[in-house]
Amino acid sequence: MYSEKLMDHFTNPRNVGDIPDADGVGEEGNPTCGDVMKISIKVQDGRIVDAKFRTFGCGAAIGVSSMVTEMVKGKTLEEALSITKEAVAEALDGLPPQKMHCSNLGADALKKAIEDYRNRQGAK
Amino acid sequence: MRYFDHMATNPLRPEVLDAMMPYLKEEFGNPMSLYALGQKSKKALEEARGQVAALIGAKPQEIIFTASGAEANNMAVRGLAMASKAKGSHIIVSKMEHHSVLNPARMLEKEGFAVTFLPVDKYGMVDPGALEKAITKETVLISVVHASPEVGTIEPVEEIGRIAKKHGVLFHTDAVASAGYLPVDVEALGVSALSLSAHEFYGPKGAGALYLKGGTRIVPLIYGGIQESGRRAGTENIPAIVGMGKAAELAKAGLAERAGKLARLRDRLVAGVLEGIGHVYYTGHPEHRLPGHASFCVEFIEGEAMLLMLAAKGIYAASGSACSSKALKASPVLLSMGISSQLAQGSIVFSLGTDNAEDDIEYAIREFPAVVKRLREISPYAGGWGGVKETGTCIPKN
Ligand code: FES
């Protein structure tokens, strides 16, 4: 059902946890069933230098979170914002159609984390 | 491999395969044919009918072979309601039923029948008093599962049988999950119809049966031939039916002993899980349940993720979580028991079978808590739900 790559990210997820002094935190969920993905980022000179996640959801959701946090490291905020759910799914060598929304969760949580960072910056 | 998914399916018992083999090879005759080759198949067919009847205390002529338990359920619900249409147009099914009962009931609803979907308590148990109250002059059929494959609860079928009889209403029970694990006797249960599936008791896939009490009228699902006394057309699947007959014979022998062993293993598993994991709920009825059935809801994590991690350790189980279902909906059975959609996400079901031994259980008790711990480390709810709202189903955003 899942690609080897996804299974790898599911069984050995990268970047699990919270960043205590995060610069931005984004949480996205399926309000209806409680699946939740939380991504925190650390930003330096306009680049994401660290990203961590916590996820309540299926194997695909965990694999997606792991992959998204890997993909954004070292990217500028603009580059990170252009990461689509398709790009995440592709990086995982594909997702079953009914699991595409789990990929969405990842891309959206990341966007929210960046928004949160920008809001905090604006407030300063 | 530690296989704990016996409610999904079972391997063939070797004796069953041996019994089937000749009918997959040289004994290929059609039971309808008058020459010896055909008549041999006919004889095998009738012998199997006798074996299946014996498993449930029925007469051979009361057994209709089908291709699956789902077909037997469809045939019972639709066929009995349709045959009783002149009498009334109300049926009662419980919320514990399999989709193969619920969906035909919904079809009947579209076609003008009134359908009561009977609620259950927190153990998934039907209240016979509430059921009796739901009966009207129009009621022609009641369908309540014998035991739930999802949470193991055994329904008060005998009592429902008495109520049905008192009110002159047909009563069907789905015994797919219970046959081979519990004594199933159609007289004691007081049923007019009962569904069976061969692969649930170590027979082959592709064979099921509907018991239909003598003299009960039914409208067939499949028209076209005089097989099964005109109630189900189509050349009989003789190898599978022979296998079902043999499996039924084996299921009947030593049932009490087998059930006792399964219950002991199950109790050990349940004790081990409840001891080794915090924030876990044992679902279904704690006592009135299938002997090899252990089902739980584990808080703060999701079932599909659990299944995948367990599978990586060679442990095969099942889940009723929304994420693990194709439709991304939590099991309606769990929700109907009042389990929140959040908690239902943590559904996990271990169904034991005769191939399981003590060391399988010990292995599961060792490994399962580690899986839960790992997933909780990943979960944002590690420290508790934190007031998240509880609602409906897992529906993708777009
Ligand atoms: S998180 Fe529910 S299906 Fe992936």
Instruction: Search chain A and give the residue with CA nearest B307.
Output: A59
Structure tokens at A115: 């928004």
* Residue with the two structure tokens 């072979």: B65
- In this prediction, residues A39-58 reach a mean pLDDT of 96
Mutate to test the interface with B, among A6, A9, A37, A56 (most CBs of B within 10 A): A56
Residue with tokens 């299921």: B251
What is the least distance, in Å, from the CA of B327 to any CA of chain A?
8
The beta strands (E) that lie in B261-373 are given as 280-282, 293-298, 315-316, 347-351
Q: Which residues does a 6 A CB cutoff place in the pocket of ligand 1?
A: A 35, 57-58, 60-61, 99, 102; B 323, 328, 394
3-state secondary structure of A3: coil
Strand arrangement of the beta sheet that strand B280-282 belongs to: B280-282, B293-298, B347-351
Chain B residue closest to A100 (CA)?
B396
The pLDDT tens digits for A78-96 are 999 999 999 999 999 999 9
Give B389's pLDDT tier (boundaries 50, 70, 90): very low
Nearest to A2 by CA among A122, B134, B79, A11: A11
What pLDDT was estimated at residue A31? 63
Q: Which residues face B197 on adjacent strands?
A: B208
Average the pLDDT over A54-67 and give the result: 95
User: How far apart are alpha carbons B166 and B128 in whole angstroms?
Assistant: 13
Q: Where are the domains of chain B?
A: 14-252, 255-393
pLDDT for B167 equals 98
B341 → closest Cβ in A33, A59, A104: A33
Query: pTM score, two decimals?
Result: 0.94
Between CA B90 and CA B99, with CA B118 as vertex, the angle to 5 degrees is 85
* Residues facing A44 on adjacent strands: A47
In angstroms, rounded to a whole number, what is the distance separating the alpha carbons of residues A24 and A42? Answer: 7
Mean pLDDT, all residues of chain B: 95
pLDDT at A30 over 80: no
Q: What are phi and psi of B296, to 5 degrees?
A: -140, 160
Q: Which fold has domain B14-252?
A: Aspartate Aminotransferase; domain 2 (3.40.640)
Q: Residue B253: phi, psi to the nearest 5?
A: -70, 130
Helix/strand/coil for B51: helix
Q: What percent of chain B has pLDDT over 90?
A: 93
| B235 contact partners, CB below 8 Å, separation of at least 6 | B30, B32, B225, B227
Placement of tokens 């002997």 in the chain = B291
Indicate whether B393 pLDDT > 90.
no
Residue tagged 């079932």 (tokens): B303
Mean pLDDT of B135-154: 98
B124 Rama sector, left if φ>0, alpha if ψ -120 to 50, beta otherwise: left
Handedness of CA B8, B11, B15, B16 (dihedral sign): positive
Residue A104: pLDDT band (50, 70, 90) is confident
Mean pLDDT, rounded, for B332-354 = 95
CB-count burial class (<10 Å; 0-12, 13-18, 19+) for A11: middle
d(CA B368, CA B79): 44
pLDDT-based confidence at residue B326 (cuts at 50, 70, 90): confident
Domain B255-393 -> CATH class: alpha beta
| Average pLDDT of the segment spanning B352-367 | 97
* Residues of chain B positioned with their CB less than 8 A from the CB of A36: 380-381, 388
Say yes or no: B309 contacts chain A, CB-CB below 8 A.
yes
Between CA B70 and CA A110 the distance in angstroms is 44
Query: CB–CB of B111/B89 below 8 Å?
Result: no
Collapse the DSSP code of A34 into the 3-class scheme (helix H, G, I; strand E, B; otherwise coil) and give the result.
Answer: coil
Comparing B238 with A30, the larger pLDDT belongs to: B238
Query: Alpha-carbon distance A95 to B307, whole Å?
Result: 18
| Secondary structure letter of residue A58 according to DSSP | -
Mean pLDDT of B125-144: 98
Look at residue B398 in the predicted model and tell me its pLDDT: 35
Contact A101 B396 (CB under 8 A): yes
d(CA A21, CA A38): 15
Element (H, E) at B139: strand B139-143
Q: Which of residues 50-69 of A touch B (CB under 8 A)?
A: 54-59, 61-62
**ipTM score:** 0.94
> What confidence tens digit (pLDDT) does each residue in B59-112 have?
999 999 999 999 999 999 999 999 999 999 999 999 999 999 999 999 999 999
Two domains, one topology: B14-252 and B255-393: no
Asked if the model's pLDDT at residue B394 lies above 90, the reply is no
Are residues B315 and B2 in contact, defined by beta-carbon separation less than 8 angstroms? Answer: yes
Q: Estimate the share of chain A in helix, then strand, then coil, as percent rounded to the nearest 5.
A: 50, 20, 30
Give the gap in angstroms from C-alpha A41 to the nearest C-alpha of chain B. 16
Neighbours of B147 (CB within 10 A): 30
Do residue B396 and residue A104 have CB atoms under 8 angstroms apart? Answer: yes
Helix (H, G, I), strand (E, B) or coil at B241: helix
Burial state string for B317-337 with b = 16 or more CB within 10 A and e = fewer than 16: bbbbbbbbbeebbbbbbbbbb
- The reply to whether residue A101 touches residue B398, judged by beta carbons under 8 angstroms, is yes
3-state secondary structure B77-91: HHHHHHHCCCCCCEE
**Radius of gyration for the alpha carbons in chain A, expressed in angstroms and rounded:** 13
Query: What 3-state DSSP class applies to B123?
Result: coil
As a whole number, mean pLDDT of residues A107-122 equals 94
Q: pLDDT, tens digit, for every residue of B105-114?
A: 999 999 999 9
C-alpha distances out from residue B351 to A46, B152, B294, B346, Å: 53, 9, 6, 16
C-alpha to C-alpha distance for B274 and B229, rounded to whole angstroms? 51
Nearest CA in chain B to A35: B394
User: Which residues of B are less than 8 Å from A13 in CB distance?
Assistant: 378
Cβ-based neighbours of B313, under 8 Å, separated by 6 or more = B367, B371
At B344, is the pLDDT very low, low, confident or very high (cuts 50, 70, 90)? very high
Task: Please check the confidence at residue B395 and state whether its pLDDT lies above 50.
Answer: no
- Give, to the nearest 10 degrees, the angle between helix B14-24 and helix B238-252: 160
d(CA B270, CA B360): 13
